[in-house]
Amino acid sequence: MTGATAIKRFAATLAILLVVLSPSGAAERLIHAEDFSKTSKWDASFWVAETGFFRNKEAQYYRPENVCVKAGALVFEARRESAPNAAFDPNAKDWPANVRNADYTSGSLVSRNAFPYGVFEIVARFPQSAGVWPAIWLIHDEGAPFGEIDIAESVGATPGEVFTTIHAGPDVHSLKDWQTETPAPDLASAFHAYRLEWSRDAIHVSIDGRRVLDLDPDQARRDGFDPLRAPMHLRINLALGGSWGGKIDDSALPARLAIKSVKVWSAGP
């Protein structure tokens, strides 16, 4: 076999390996992969690190320095420490601009691009102390309609449980919700594989290969809006407190959300 022939055969084999068929029969192509046992930093061409206060009146101030790769994992670290709020305005009436300093810091990454469908697989280990709120989720850009797919969330008030939720509606004040709760007693000690398969015709979420939530996007169509067929950004973050996280146990900090790998496949409509 000549060198040129061998290269051609290798390329053909690689192409076959990277293209698979989803359960719906649509072709999928691997478009992003990070194995944190083989790299020393997260991919800044794919992710943006959030800075500031954001959602749900959570206690943490997000900073890029709270996200790093160490010991073979991408680590989001929540800490009890003071940090100045760069967006502070003494005349502001609304949170988060009227908070001068944060008492806690943590990390959050958001995909630079929004995805119109796809397959997303994240292997993660969740912290479980009181007040922690790790999440792997997708959400549309600002404005209507409102669509959100929470692949996996956990809160310290209910340790050993993973919540998978879909929210959708014409706006944030008019939502329908679909949710399942999956027992996982070893959340804080073991890695689990969280997978979303999202196409025009179906949404499937699995944990360690077991299907936990199925939804037809048509169920969210309403008043001319089709929120579960709108492009969404992938997010991974570790929140503290807020509307669902609850009272924070300072003695359990720092808390760490660890990600072993991230894979994203494209999917046809």
Q: What pLDDT is stored for residue 13 in this prediction?
A: 39
| pLDDT above 80 (res 24) | no
Give the pair of three-digit tokens for residue 100.
Answer: 């001068």
Give the pair of three-digit tokens for residue 14.
Answer: 């690689």
For 198-236, write each residue's pLDDT tens digit.
Answer: 999 999 999 999 999 999 999 999 888 899 999 999 999
Q: From the centroid of its chain, how far is CA 205?
A: 13
| pLDDT above 70 (res 38) | yes
| pLDDT above 70 (res 14) | no
For 49-86, write each residue's pLDDT tens digit.
Answer: 999 999 999 999 999 999 999 999 999 999 999 999 99
End-to-end CA distance of the chain: 40
SS3 of 231, please?
A: coil
Complete DSSP assignment for 140-195: EPSSSSEEEEEEEE--TTSTTEEEEEEEEESSTTS-EEEEEEEE-TTTTTS-EEEE
Q: What pLDDT is stored for residue 15 in this prediction?
A: 41
pLDDT bin (cut points 50, 70, 90) of residue 269 is: low
Q: What pLDDT is stored for residue 20 in this prediction?
A: 45
Which of 138, 137, 178, 179 lies closest to 158, judged by CA?
A: 179
Claim: this prediction has a pTM higher than 0.95: no
| pLDDT above 80 (res 41) | yes
| pLDDT above 60 (res 22) | no
Give the pair of three-digit tokens for residue 89.
Answer: 């305005």
Domain 21-267 fold is Jelly Rolls (2.60.120)
For 157-200, write each residue's pLDDT tens digit.
Answer: 999 999 999 999 988 888 999 999 999 999 999 999 999 999 99
| pLDDT above 60 (res 9) | no
Q: What pLDDT is stored for residue 6 in this prediction?
A: 43
- Amino acid identity of 111? S
257, HSE (Cβ side, Cα atoms, 13 Å): 27
What torsion do the CA atoms of 33, 36, 42, 48 make, to the nearest 10 degrees?
60
pLDDT bin (cut points 50, 70, 90) of residue 27 is: low
Average pLDDT, the chain: 90
Token pair 């692949």: residue = 151
Q: From the centroid of its chain, how far is CA 36?
A: 16
Q: What are the C-alpha distances in Å from 175 to residues 39, 200, 235?
A: 40, 20, 20
Q: What pLDDT is stored for residue 268 in this prediction?
A: 62
Token pair 């697989």: residue = 121
Continuous segment of H or E residues that includes residue 97: none
Break the chain into its structural domains and give their ranges.
Answer: 21-267
Overall residue count recorded for the chain in this entry: 269
23-59: burial string, b at 16+ Cβ within 10 Å, e else:
eeebebeebbebebeeeeebeeebbebbebbbeeebb
pLDDT bin (cut points 50, 70, 90) of residue 240 is: very high
Q: What pLDDT is stored for residue 114 in this prediction?
A: 96
List beta partners, residue 150.
137, 165
Q: What pLDDT is stored for residue 95 in this prediction?
A: 87
pLDDT bin (cut points 50, 70, 90) of residue 145 is: confident
